[in-house]
Amino acid sequence: MSVIEVNSLTKDYGSGRGVFDVTFQVEKGEVFGFLGPNGAGKSTTIRHLMGFSKPQSGQTKIFGKDTFDKYFEILGNVGYIPGEIALPAGLTGWEFIRMMQHLQKCRNDEQLNYLLKIFELDPSGETKRMSLGVKRKLAVVTAFMSDPDVLILDEPTSGLDPVMQEVFIEFIRKEKERGKTILLSSHIFSEVDATCDRIAIIKDGKIVSDFIADDLKHASQKNYEIGFTDRENYDRFMKDSRNSAIVKIIGNDAKNKTVMIATDDKYINQVIAGLSEYSIGNFSHLKETLEDYFMSYYKEDKNFGGALQ
Ligand SMILES: Nc1ncnc2c1ncn2[C@@H]1O[C@H](COP(=O)(O)OP(=O)(O)OP(=O)(O)O)[C@@H](O)[C@H]1O
Ligand SMILES: [Mg+2]
């Protein structure tokens, strides 16, 4: 049984907004990255997973329990950082921490002091006067202070400075080593790259890609750039490759006489043999990073998703 399950979750807000048939699972000890452009449906999915909204259809489960029906049974073992921090007015940071400990039915001062130290948080001030970053730190500390087994984090580092983002990444790595199950939504590629085992990309309310992070690094389909010495060779290659079964043209620049191609490793000998028919000035491997792959989903007119498509 997976620790986190989202099964065919649908919530239609009308006009194409919402989430549609979203399905994914997160296994015990896994860090799952949930990526997608603004308005893609990350927070909507996460709010359902936290049991705050009832799905129109489909189901969300944690530890095999329906999160909407069994909200109070799972709450104690799930840490949550909301995408937008709204702290109750008229409280100091300490009062907020005590209130949350009461709700979580757990007071673990050792863990709390450890978190206050590593995130350099002084919770003595009033919450309404706290800067965005300090509010975020308070949300991070309260999410982790009961040492829950499952963490649902909606853009947890937004508002944190780069040093604190690093501290956070290091902390997540240690939590993973301790066997925690973590769902992390993010726009920050380096953070996802450094922490996540598996990644799903959501766009317009639908999961468009779900893959193992290492697979992207070891994908057998690769991109290359070929620079031709003159226009005649460039034009001939473009024409010859148009319907090729082994090479896909993914970009071209007539002015610079360069063509970007994608091919699978198993065809590379054929591709290189074929290129000997042309006069070539340079040939290079274009490294596909997670960032490139993700960016291809940000662009509206996406027609090539890269190595894993
Ligand atoms: N309660 C609601 N009523 C109507 N529409 C909503 C509601 N909540 C979210 N939406 C719409 O659903 C879509 C998904 O929003 P959501 O907040 O889940 O996106 P997101 O992926 O978290 O984006 P961001 O990266 O900006 O945080 C958006 O078009 C949003 O306007
Ligand atoms: Mg959001």
Measuring CA to CA, which residue among 296, 280, 227, 236 is closest to residue 256? 227
From the options 3.40.50.300, 3.40.30.10, 3.60.20.10, 3.30.413.10, give the CATH code of 4-213. 3.40.50.300
Q: Please give the distance, rounded to the nearest whole angstrom, from the Cα atom of residue 38 to the centre of ligand 2.
A: 7
CA-nearest of 17, 35, 23 to 60 is: 23
Instruction: Provide residues with CB under 6 Å of ligand 1.
Output: 13, 17-18, 36, 38-44, 83
Q: Which atom of ligand 1 is nearest to the CA of 46?
A: 18
pLDDT at 304: 37
pLDDT of residue 106: 85
Structure confidence at residue 217 (pLDDT): 66
58 and 9 Cβ atoms separated by less than 8 Å: yes
Determine the residue type at 159: G
* Residue 73: predicted pLDDT: 87
Return the pLDDT at 140. Answer: 96
Q: What superfamily does domain 220-287 belong to in CATH?
A: Malonyl-CoA ACP transacylase, ACP-binding (3.30.70.250)
Ligand 1: which of 10, 11, 13 to mutate, judged by most atoms within 8 Å of the beta carbon?
A: 13
Q: Indicate the top mutation candidate among 17, 45, 46, 84 to test ligand 1's pocket, ranked by most ligand atoms within 8 A of CB.
A: 17
pTM of the model: 0.80
CA of 139 from ligand 2 middle (Å) equals 16
Residue numbers of the chain with a pLDDT score lower than 50 = 301-309
Residue (of 51, 37, 53) closest to 4 by Cα position: 51
**Which residue owns the Cα nearest ligand 1 atom 12?**
18
Q: What is the pLDDT of residue 302?
A: 46
